[in-house]
A and B are shown apart, each in its own frame.
Chain A
Amino acid sequence: MTAVEYGQPVGQPHPLHHILSVLVENKSGVLARVASLFSRRGFNISSLAVAPTDDEHLSRITIVVDVASAPLEQVVKQLDKLVNVVSISELAPEEATERELLLATLSAGPLERGQIVQLVGIFGGQVVDVGADAITVVLAGAPSKVDDFEDLLRPLGIVELQRTGRVALPRLHRLR
């Protein structure tokens, strides 16, 4: 079982942080309906990831939103009214396995590469591209781990950095 290998966010989860996993019909315009509903009700989407599921007719939208739970209930109920929304589950951070992906290009000549490669190795990331004076690395991991990785990369000379929205699935129950 490697689902929790990288651990969950350390310390108290942010009290206003909610993950909504929204299963929708894979049709054009559905993302716009979902996003529009959030803006109409005055909520800020903190991160968003959308991709088809194993069923080609369905997509999963993972939305991280920072709100108190009472207004969130209203958003969830309004979302559920969208005809293209098939189901919604709210994942409590402690009950979810979350992942983000980070891609970063760092300026690094042959002499600086070793330090970066070592850091990537510690975090279990990968070097995906190497140029004469730059290197591109990737890390997929729990959001807090990706945060740590980004903090450590920063002094090494980031040229470009891109993170994805968060994706999440419920944690599995285990026999104890």
Chain B
Amino acid sequence: MRITGAQALIKSLEMQGVEVIFGLPGGAILPVYDPIIDSPIRHILVRHEQGAGHAAEGYAQVTGRPGVAMVTSGPGATNIVTPLANAYMDSTPLVVVSGQVATGSIGTDAFQECPITGVTMDITKHNWLVTDAADIPRTVAAAFHVATTGRPGPVLIDVPKDISNAQMEWYWPQTVEDLDLPGYHPNIEGDPELVHRAAEMILEASRPVIYAGGGILKASGAQALYELAVRTGIPVVTTLMARGAFPDSHPLCLGMPGMHGNYTAVTAMQRADLLLAIGSRFDDRVTGKVSAFAPGAKVVHVDIDPAELGKVRRAEVAIAGDARAVMEEMLEALGSMGIGPEGSAPESGSPAARRPDLRPWISEIRGWQERYPLTYDRSGDTGVLKPQQVVESLRDAAEPGTIVVSGVGQHQMWASQWWRFEEPYTWVNSGGAGTMGFAVPAAIGAKVGRPERAVWAIDGDGCFQMTAQELVTASAERIPVKVAILNNAYLGMVRQWQEMFYEERYSEVYLSPDLPDYVKWAEAMGCVGLRVESPEEVGPAIDKANSIDDRPVVVDFRTDAFEKVYPMVPAGHSNDDIVVSPTEEGAR
């Protein structure tokens, strides 16, 4: 069957099971947009290519399937560079197809020419410039294989216009060997000897902590994590990327560690004698000053990416493998050492029976939880609306399984701290890259991926202004996301740092609560716009927002501009220097 390269490209996406493409057409990608008309794949026309990329990320994060975005050459392609960098940092599987000028024009500074494979070389897992239409099916199949296996990540396929127009004989590669990837062999299984050694260390530890990272979610490992935690009785911290991987309501869940983690999660890691780091990467926002991080802990580090092992902290046992596969191997090894099902006593005479008693450790942890709970000033004396109260009210009114999406900054930390994540894939945010403006388009992608779920974007006013135009996309495509703007009229996190570390010299952080008028803006974009100025208006506004399911809703919550995120470990300090909120101090 002779078809064009463009037809082969769309057909290849269909073969991969793609159900939706987020994109925006232009000159060089024109040939590829023609067969989209005849394809069952849904195309969602964004208003800016950055929106296409983040929407594809949101889709990928909630479905576990790769997100797909399509853009034209030149500025179309450069506009999606930020989402590629973001997806690379957060290991999100993304396949971006970009148009390119005709092969004969490459290198001539042609109209809308940009060497996007060169630009994105260091922020994609791999990229391809297609130079022969016959390569298209194989390249697409290879791109999806690379994006979704091993440590997932974004890939880009750059397709010159003449290649899209050229004829080719259709085929579809049948096996991985057909993909021409001689240097790509991701490892899955952990080395059994190392797993055995890790299991022994688990049974030797008296102050163990599971340091659960986003890799667990990438590996569909939440169930294995649950088994590992409950069968061993080891408490779990869930990093920003792993919120939801272990239920917040479980007594063993200590919540989020790190710069704005809660006191107990941070301190338990500092005092641990064993850290089981699974799918986590000792990010600087978690460790604080590395040399002072968890000084008494031996480390078992499990990661599918061997380059993460030993990159920041040398592990006593470093296991390269898929988080889920290795946890299952660990459970088997622990079983053979006498660890039974949840709640059962260890087999008598087994190594597990000689295990140190964890009760003193758990009781020490309970002490921290009682003395230093997350708090904020709830008195409401001033009549000022606290951002944390908004998050709590949204949480309490949310139906189970609601997906929460955030941008980057104070609102992100409050959302992560104050929401209660009970199941995996209900939390979508920009972790490693810290991309402001992520929330609105990512929420759209999440809602497209899980249309049966309620999707709330908890956004900041600064973030919202970066990508709000995608609410036009949401209205046009009938994607009823809800956006809560925690409008404190500032670039709040920067303001917080200027207050704390720059002697309250506020440089270029004021945004104004009224400019723009968020309600009018929302209405202009086809959304319902609501405004909340006092604590008592919160509940009714949220109820109204939750009752609307035929269009997007934006709620402008006017929140306290002076509220800061606590606890906080100042950058570059030891986690022992954690600063709790003034209200926590009072409770001591």
The chain A residue with its CB closest to the CB of B153 is: A81
B305 at the A interface (CB under 8 A): yes
In the assembled complex, B122 has its CB within 8 A of some CB on chain A: yes
The answer to whether A36 touches B183, judged by C-beta atoms less than 8 angstroms apart, is: no
Minimum C-beta distance from B549 to chain A (A): 43
Q: Do B117 and A83 touch (CB < 8 A)? A: no
Assess whether B122 is in contact with A40, with CB atoms less than 8 Å apart: yes
Fill in one digit per residue for B177-215: 1 if any A CB lies within 8 Å of its CB, else 0.
000011110000000000000000000000000000000
CA distance A40 to B311 in the complex (A): 15
> Residue A29 at the B interface, CB < 8 A?
yes
Residue B125 at the chain A interface, CB threshold 8 Å: yes
The verdict on A81 contacting B307 (CB below 8 Å), with A29-B129, A86-B183 known, is yes
Given contacts A74-B307, A74-B311, A78-B307, contact A83 B125 (CB under 8 A): yes
Shortest C-beta distance, B444 to chain A (Å), equals 31
B272 at the interface (CB under 8 A from A): no
Name which residue of chain A comes closest to B117, CB basis. A29
Mark interface residues in B122-142 (1 if CB within 8 Å of A CB, else 0): 100110010000000000000
Q: Which residues of A contact B146 (CB under 8 A)?
A: 83
Residues of A within 8 A of B306 (CB): 77, 80
Of chain A, the residue at the smallest CB distance from B129 is A29
Chain A: interface residue total (CB-CB under 8 A): 21
Chain A's closest residue to B142 (CB) is: A83
A24 within 8 A of B: yes
**CB of A111 within 8 A of chain B?**
no
Roughly how many angstroms separate A16 CA and B307 CA in the complex, as a whole number?
21
In the complex the two chains form, is B184's CB within 8 Å of A83's CB? Answer: yes
Cα A36 to Cα B310 in complex, Å, equals: 22
Query: Which residue from A32, A74, A80 sits with its C-beta under 8 Å from B118?
Result: A32
Q: Chain B 273-316 against A: per-residue CB contact (8 Å), 1 yes, 0 no?
A: 00000000000000000000000000000000111011100000
Give per-residue flags for B97-121: 1 if the beta carbon is below 8 A from chain A beta carbons, else 0: 0000000000000000000011001
Which among A73, A80, A84, A87 is the interface contact of B310 at CB below 8 angstroms?
A73
- Does chain B have a CB within 8 A of A100? no
A81 and B146 CA atoms in complex are apart in Å by: 11
User: How far apart are the CA atoms of A24 and B184 in the complex, in Å?
Assistant: 11
CB of A98 closer than 8 Å to a CB of B = no
Could you tell me the distance between the alpha carbons of A36 and B115 in the complex, rounded to whole angstroms?
Answer: 15
Q: If the complex has contacts A29-B129, A36-B121, A36-B122, are A81 and B305 also in contact, measured as CB distance less than 8 A?
A: yes
Q: How far is the CA of A5 from the CA of B247 in the complex (A)?
A: 67
Apart from the given pairs A33-B121, A81-B305, A83-B183, 12 other A-B contacts in the complex at a CB distance below 8 Å: A29-B118, A29-B121, A29-B129, A32-B118, A57-B182, A74-B310, A78-B307, A80-B307, A82-B183, A83-B126, A83-B184, A86-B183
Q: List 17 A-B contacts (CB under 8 A).
A: A25-B183, A29-B117, A32-B118, A33-B121, A37-B122, A74-B307, A74-B310, A77-B306, A77-B307, A77-B309, A80-B307, A81-B125, A82-B183, A83-B146, A83-B184, A85-B183, A87-B183
3 nearest A-B pairs in the assembled complex, by CB-CB distance: A77-B307, A83-B126, A86-B183
